[in-house]
Structure 1
Amino acid sequence: MPLGVNLCCAVKRMPQPHEWARFVREDLGLDLVQFTFDLLDPWAPAQLRTRLARRITTAAADYGLTIDSAFVGLAHYVPSGLLDPDPDARAVALTWWRHAIDLAAELGARAVGGPLGTISDHDDADTRARAARRADLTDAVAELAQAAAAAGLDSFLVEPTPIAREYPATITDCHHLLQDLERREVTNVGLVLDTGHMLYQPLHGADARVDDWITELSPHIRGLHLDNADGHGDPHWGWPHPDGTVGVADLAHQLTQAGIGDIPVMLEVYPRFEDSSSAVRELLRSSVEHCRPHFTPASAREVSADAVVG
């Protein structure tokens, strides 16, 4: 399982591509990243976006990093997105995603994705309105998956979230969305699961377990967000943390047993913006060292494979 890092840790601290690229390679010893759209908004004018994207790909190349995927960050997670009650607002969200697909392709990523939106309280209370919003989202995902394929991306990635009014939020939701897409012969949509989301007890119950998600959804899992949590919130802690309950060794074993031991695993630690940068950097280092024995950086996997062949 190749270990990488989501660049949310760089937001507000290391916005310049060569800053975060150097930190990932030299301080963390990793060579795989998941780009966050919080570092470059896809809404940027096309020519400017292309110039900024070129700086990013140059920095990644200079430090031997692979940009695996490009993902929604905090900024675009806030709007109601593809589940907004207003059709014009949903059209705006769809347009944003089209720009995101274009940017992901410019970055040389294999995939693009993230959470998709939030249903309003009003629509959620109305069974027919809730069903209509979910149908709208399914239509949008089918369209975006086609656009992603046309842009040369392997996958459009959907992240289940721990809020019931978001879609998908549960294992059952994931099955429904994927089945609806399969009936339309859409086959390039995958899931990115998050350890904190899967263990969120207020939504999934006191017996919430990561292995239930992996067992049920393994054919569709294309990546994992690895973060520490206590089952009662979505804090995206790192390691060590006195209240964290996410067992990394057990998780690695479960992924291997499910036959998906080769999916990218992205450390996703969201520090508080008010935390000192030195403390954040040390937290990232300690988190990588905690996870490294169970998830191997891609370059180390290649070296190991070459040794076996030799």
Structure 2
Amino acid sequence: MKRYIIKRVVHAVFVVWLVATAVFFAVRLVPGGPARAVFGLQSRPEVVARFKEQYGLNDPLYEQYFNWMSNLIVGDLGPSMTQSAQVSDLIMQTAPRTLSIAIVGLVVGISISIPAGILSATRRRTMVDYVATVASFAGISLPAFFIGILLVLVFGVWTNLLPTFGYVPISEGLYPWFRGIILPGIAVGGPYAAIVMRMMRGSLIDEIREPYMRTARAKGLSSRIRFYKHALQNAMMPVVTIAGIQVALIVTGSVTVELVFGIKGLGRLLVNSMLQADYATVQGTIILVAITMVTINLIVDLTYAYLDPQIGYESDVA
């Protein structure tokens, strides 16, 4: 099992390095280079020359790569190309906001999807199943930003129960932070919950129909043991996989949801940086997103191995 964990961690580090390398060279393959992209193709040569000197773009490509990668390892993403600030500072200012939305959305999604999927599977063809199925189809069909707009109308315009614009840092109090972040969290967690709920329902129904469940009943095992120890545990394995992969839905959904709720998070930083051709900030933001996704996939792999120890064992043998 230890060897399996080490292999997964090494693989995760390799993927992050690969993404960082691809981003580095992609930026420098822009027609005219980053300098022309920032100032335009008709910019004055002296302005471009000064910009290249400032950001080390006159150095050989391999030297630029070595210096950039060395700085990246210690967390130095360099200065922004369009703002008088370090990229790491810009990310540190915006990442907690996006992370707050993602965490709340994940908690909302998991807390709704798993119980709803279990109820829908164990009470098939009842009103509970029909309501859960319709709600899941609506969640899958409606994009996160549209759900956000509906929440703004209901809780902001019509009832004025919750704030619908801006972000309150958690340092100003847990309750004000939660009041300001719950609606964006629900907006991104809704589609996520719908997908995971459908997977939970289908996976659990398949497990309940398996022959080993009839065998367990014939052996005299109680319904509680049959359900929780056998059916539910086995049904959770594909659910964990899809739940981890679909975290990308929360990350991407946060970009548009931030615009709806007026939150200056990581998504808005990335969009604005792309529009302003601030490639240093684009690089840093994409790498952070890549690290986040790789870390989530690593957690999913380790959770999968925990649920089925044979995975880790077989990987060690291989």
Structure of larger gyration radius: 2
Larger strand proportion, structure 1 or 2? 1
Larger helix proportion, structure 1 or 2? 2
Same fold (TM over 0.5): no
Q: With the length of structure 1 as denominator, give the TM-score of the two structures.
A: 0.22
Q: With the length of structure 2 as denominator, give the TM-score of the two structures.
A: 0.22
